Amino acid sequence: MKRELATPRLRLRPFAEKDLAALHALLRDPQVNTFLPWFPVETREGAEAFLRNWSGEGHYAVVLRDGPDALVGYVNQELDGARDLGYGFCRAVWGRGLASEAAAAVAREARESGLPFLTATHDVNNPASGGVMRRIGMTYRYSYVELWQPKNFLVTFRLYQMDFDPAAKTYAAYALRYGNAFREDL
């Protein structure tokens, strides 16, 4: 995958050490992290661990194209398995369509790199995230209930998928793992 992507308003680039303070602020914000699979990151060391883990392929720091090179969010895409797409943005930029713009750029890159499909999931209590998925062309496939760790409570997730290969089938591993998949009328 390419290491830097551009959209009309954004640059998606590799994470850098200079992102640490902004990443820590994003990861420790309880409201931003309500629907993310970790607790808010309280320590600088915890943010450093994320920065190290997100320094590889499929992980993008998102910055405004016409502003300072300051982190406003991130987009991650797994390169194997579910090829899950994930994202998080600072509250200061919510409601501006930046998550959709960044996620669409990563989806285009995934298609161009030859991946057969891309998935994403969202908590039913976070419909805005599902809106991002629909806006970039993903389609709802099924829902499932998971005892979400490390937060240790039940969550109903909706799985969305974007197929790039006509032979791609719906990613079924979550349905099989949790054994409780069902379709909702959305």
H-only helix segments in the chain = 20-28, 44-53, 98-112, 127-135, 173-178
On whether residue 184 sits in a domain, the answer given is no
On whether residue 186 sits in a domain, the answer given is no
On whether residue 30 sits in a domain, the answer given is yes
On whether residue 77 sits in a domain, the answer given is yes
Task: Indicate the DSSP class of residue 84.
Answer: B
CATH number of the domain encompassing residue 166:
3.40.630.30
**The two three-digit tokens of residue 6, written as one number:** 């551009």
On whether residue 27 sits in a domain, the answer given is yes
**Domain span holding position 53:** 5-178
On whether residue 185 sits in a domain, the answer given is no
> Each residue's pLDDT tens digit in the chain (186 positions)?
457 999 999 999 999 999 999 999 999 999 999 999 899 999 999 999 999 999 988 999 999 999 889 999 999 999 889 999 999 999 999 999 999 999 999 999 999 999 999 999 999 999 999 999 999 999 999 999 999 988 999 999 999 999 999 999 999 999 999 999 999 998
On whether residue 183 sits in a domain, the answer given is no
User: What is the reported pLDDT for 133?
Assistant: 98
Number of domain units in the chain = 1
Distance CA 21, CA 133 (A): 28
